[in-house]
Structure 1
């Protein structure tokens, strides 16, 4: 059998081979240098923390346990077992009682927003980072261990606020919003859309500015102002595209007669209605009569049709960091002058607590609200104060104080500071 002679290797062949090898090495090095992975530091928990046990009674006294900076949250972000803080580019899962780091995730980008989502099921932390495309880079982390679950990126505004329920998350900026499922797949995009799914479908309204949003099930509501509209508008959309790949609109109504004052603010949405805080500066549409004037909670059905109004104490515009908190069948919301407590299903206001400093949650069947002295413990059904528990806060309250409950621990967010208080 004849031996096959090897191909003749000329010097130029060796030179070309060397160039290719060097080029591949350089490209690999460049890819590593610019890769987000290189600038990411992740320290995961060795095991899942034990579940938090609900308190059986409200402690007689509380003492300060720990505090941490968290400029990426507007209210305490709480998972099944941990409290999550976000500061600059670092997200940390903390033991509620001690504040110790259980896990951390850090990037060389600034955080736009951090919040927990799907707590009763997937128990996820959403960390939104800012890059050249706005608040565009989203990372999903396991709230218990900090393990990375997924990521997404898309066009986004420079500011972003996250709102969620058990099904979808709404990521809203001033000009556009998106919905995401727990797999981070986008349901819809609305507002400023660069590339539409169906280019032939022109939006019903142009040049809209989005001010607030709420979601329940497969519908979301947004307060917006669009070019040509004399007032602010409430619009109800489907959270996912319809069978024809279009954004479904269930209803849209002008809810003020002009835009001379601040916009109404969406508080909450349920399967039966929508609650909107209206500071009363702009004339209401439809017009209110009798005592229904000034600051009010206005109620609409899930097609954006007005159904009722309840006057409340409040400012013309509530503080920007005032967000609703839901627990045990009630929604609490701070208007700037009082905390209003609403039934979570009907969204009808039950009572209001003047002098409270922000929204709160239920512990052991009693409602805890932040007060100047500390914590006001109230009967959930009537709002009657049962007792007051003094707190020694690390800094005096200034603006809204948002309170959440984790087991027998109370966690407050005041400005950029999260502080926890445990039984004394």
Structure 2
């Protein structure tokens, strides 16, 4: 019940752009309900829908390779570009989003597989070494060979019952990973507020999950759960939409914590009180961008600190030729990455755009947007 149509030869890596096109036009579009932001490998744009994972030529949209199963696709993502350049396809069976296949990003050939207990929904978050597969009640970390590092949260029939930290009945909302540590925002049992917990990405020498720190973020759960925006070797950045509690109101802000979860500085930003479910941070070194519903906040990827915010945008963006591209109502705003100063605007006509979050990423000179369950690629005008 699987159809794998691999490429005969590896697709060539797309070189980084050395200039931003004067004009961009709609090149192609495809349905992709299994991605949250554009999934970009070294050579292809990956879409997922139904049971199909398809790798497209960025410039033409033509199918480079495909992988299809008779199961529902939970999520797919391109991970570890520049090294193993893999695509992960996660399918749902009777055990949840359980069946995982790793595919070579340039050919579509299968390289690894795994299966384990999982939730019915799943998000993937990765850095250069590991992936976090997080559902609402449990998460796992995987290496590039798909061997599990840790499992956290709901664990059915644990072999060693004392492996996990002591909290129970936790609901997980967002996660991030950097190096050997994982951060997760959760709400556990009868606790009053949302909690930040920092874990080791691998079991320690005693085969237990290491907890580096855990502390409550809020005094209640009347507000929306905070969102993990960025994580690096020293800092965790969280979007806290704030509280309208008459006794202690707080504005939307970016809150910084160290890698043990100890709180640091806070930075007020423009933002909605309920974070958009389809707003996902985009890490494009040296910056991370996050859309608050009212502005794109640009953070320094090395320090986690907000550099500036750009109101009136439609979503997070990415770099092309060392300049920042942000989706705007009129098209693409090209900005100086250090200061946020607008340099120019590239007009775009988006296909069937009816509002909502626009997540923008770049491969070569092609701008790829995800809007809802649609991927659309804009290519240099002839």
- Give TM class, smaller chain: over 0.9
Which of 250, 254, 257 is the matching residue for 1:300? 257
Distance between the aligned counterparts of 2:154 and 2:21, measured in 1? 49
Deviations 1:230-261 (A, max 9, x none): 11000000000000000000000001011112
Alignment of 1:12-411 (within 5 A): 39-201=1-163, 203-281=165-243, 293-411=250-368
After the TM superposition, which of the residue ranges 397-406 and 98-107 deviates more from structure 2? 397-406
**C-alpha distance 313-345 of structure 1, shift in aligned 2 (>3 A):** same
Runs of 4+ in 1 over 4 A off after TM superposition: none
Distance between the aligned counterparts of 1:219 and 1:302, measured in 2? 8
Q: TM-score, normalised by structure 1?
A: 0.88
- The SS at the match of 1:158 is coil
Q: Could you tell me how far 1:201 is from its partner in structure 2? A: 4.5
**C-alpha distance 397-59 of structure 1, shift in aligned 2 (>3 A):** farther
Distance between the aligned counterparts of 1:282 and 1:228, measured in 2? 22
Q: TM-score, normalised by structure 2?
A: 0.97
Distance between the aligned counterparts of 1:322 and 1:72, measured in 2? 15
Aligned residues: 380
Q: Could you tell me how far 1:355 is from its partner in structure 2? A: 0.6
Distance between the aligned counterparts of 1:60 and 1:110, measured in 2? 41
Q: Could you tell me how far 1:197 is from its partner in structure 2? A: 4.0
Deviations 1:129-155 (A, max 9, x none): 011111011010001000001110000
Pairwise CA RMSD of aligned residues? Answer: 1.3
- The SS at the match of 1:369 is strand
Contact 1:372 1:397 survives alignment (8 Å) = no
Distance between the aligned counterparts of 2:104 and 2:244, measured in 1? 44
Q: Could you tell me how far 1:195 is from its partner in structure 2? A: 2.9
Contact 1:360 1:367 survives alignment (8 Å) = yes
Contact 2:131 2:143 survives alignment (8 Å) = yes
Q: Could you tell me how far 1:419 is from its partner in structure 2? A: 0.4
Deviations 1:354-393 (A, max 9, x none): 0110011110111000011110000000001000111011
Contact 2:228 2:238 survives alignment (8 Å) = yes
Contact 1:297 1:310 survives alignment (8 Å) = yes
Q: Could you tell me how far 1:202 is from its partner in structure 2? A: 5.9
Contact 1:94 1:100 survives alignment (8 Å) = yes
Deviations 1:272-317 (A, max 9, x none): 100000010277xxx99xxx93100000000111101000000112
> 5+ unaligned residues in a row in structure 1: which ranges?
1-38
Q: Could you tell me how far 1:109 is from its partner in structure 2? A: 0.7
Q: Could you tell me how far 1:328 is from its partner in structure 2? A: 3.0
Distance between the aligned counterparts of 1:241 and 1:165, measured in 2? 18
* Greater strand share, structure number: 2
Contact 2:243 2:250 survives alignment (8 Å) = no
Q: Could you tell me how far 1:198 is from its partner in structure 2? A: 1.6
1:419 aligns with 2:381: no
Contact 2:162 2:208 survives alignment (8 Å) = no
Distance between the aligned counterparts of 1:323 and 1:210, measured in 2? 16
Distance between the aligned counterparts of 1:206 and 1:51, measured in 2? 46
Contact 2:369 2:376 survives alignment (8 Å) = yes
Contact 2:99 2:114 survives alignment (8 Å) = yes
